[in-house]
Amino acid sequence: MFFNSIAFAIFLPIVFFLYWFVFNKTKNTQNALLIIASYYFYSCWDWRFLFLLVFSTFLDYYTGIQIEKGESEKSRKFWFWLSILVNLGFLGVFKYYNFFAASFSDLLNAAGLKSSPLLLNVILPVGISFYTFHGLSYVIDIYYKRIKAEYNFVDYSLFVSYFPLLVAGPIERATHLLPQVKIKREFNFEKAKEGIYQIIWGLVKKVVIADTCATYANAIFDHYTSMNSFSLMLGAVYFAFQIYGDFSGYSDIALGTSKLFGLDLLRNFNYPYFSRDIAEFWRRWHISLSSWFRDYLYIPLGGSKGGLWMKIRNTFIIFVVSGFWHGANWTYIAWGFINAVYFLPLLLRNSNRNNMDAIHLSWNFNSVKTIFSILSTFLITCVAWIFFRAKTITDAVLYIKGIFTNKDFGFQYLDNERYNYELLLLIGLFVLAEWNSRTKIEPLSGKKSMLKLTLAIMAIMAFGTFSDYKEFIYFQF
């Protein structure tokens, strides 16, 4: 069930009505309804994978209690590692087994040893990377005594399976969401209104910006050998806005939907394309994942407390692992490695936390410098996105090479439903709207909210692509 589908447009009002008017007596009935709705939502993808979600939920619930009740460190470690290994085992089998098997076979063939890998014919369960990380953070926090184990199975089940965040995040923490699900929610009109605004803006990002950009990005990347330099440059820019509109749009719809039920989710995006360096970009992009790797991988590895070599090592580890988290392909690993290379000069100069303040522009040299920093950060980000989007590393390298060697900077006609000029205008208006609202959660609230809301709905109706519900990119991760 897609957020931009008719099915979800029917599903959401029904759950909303039942939640506030039928199951509103206690927090237990509210939570029970949301779990039923979440399981139905997930089963719409493939009901057979519900057993994985239920098993993962029970595993971490039970091991969390055993870790807390463990009378010896040996017992606590046993249950801790049982949860870690089983969770990562499922993730490894479904998401990474074929990658490792094929890569090892290619290595043997390159060495002159004929090999035919034994591959598994399995479908990647949607959202497995997200709900696995929910459970992992919960168990890790219990083991290190940051939180207490949750004994109410219904409350814990809702934390793991809550449908707005189930298939594509944000990656929630037990410290943030569990306290909210343990109390009865009362309807708050202002919060619900904020949620509707955020849902509408998320739809603008998805169906107006992301899906329209996808039409052109796909046409260019799939036929990059016949594209001129200017088209290749546009293709990289289109994909940058496609993945941003797609993923942040999903996050906005998820956060807005959750507000309708009185629950606040972690913010996942904070206008990342206005970043002044790559470190700021990663503080603004997929915030829940970046902070997860910081807290559960980077800091345990030693963080920035060790010597220079340890800092460099840890930086490359979290970026490469982050790339690998996104998918079982060398292109994602290359993408992570490239971002680590981008980050390295900031680390060496100890300037990776320079741009922590809000962005302000005025008529002076510093503002010119700020604009240049934003544009240059966006440029190098687009280069990295080429590796993320390409099917192979070779394709990515040839794509970049074509930008410099094709030497033709005219508009090419693409056999799509819209023209380049219209799309560039849409992107320009979208950037302007976000820039003017960069200190807010989303652009529709505040002054003239009804006018902005009307314009957003008109944009969805005029430019939204609803003929086929394009899947959200991050569902595959």
The closest of 149, 153, 157 to 68, measured between CA atoms, is 149
Phi and psi, residue 413, nearest 5°: -75, 130
* Angle (nearest 5°) at CA 271 between 330 and 197: 115
Active-site position among 134, 176, 223, 326: 326
Burial of residue 123 (CB within 10 Å: 0-12, 13-18, 19+) is exposed
Decide: 400 and 358 in contact? Cβ < 8 Å: no
Dist. CA 225–CA 232, nearest whole Å: 9
262: Cβ contacts below 8 Å, ≥ 6 apart: 180, 185, 186, 187, 188, 191
State the virtual CA torsion across 436, 440, 444, 450 in degrees, nearest 10. Answer: -100
Cα distances (Å, whole numbers) of residue 235 to 215, 227, 304, 406, 413: 10, 9, 37, 14, 13
Tell whether omega for the bond before 170 is within 30 degrees of 0, i.e. cis.
Answer: yes
**CA-based Rg of the chain, rounded to a whole angstrom?**
23
State the virtual CA torsion across 322, 324, 330, 333 in degrees, nearest 10. Answer: 20
134 is catalytic: no
435: Cβ contacts below 8 Å, ≥ 6 apart: 271, 274
Dist. CA 402–CA 447, nearest whole Å: 46
| Residues identified as active-site | 326
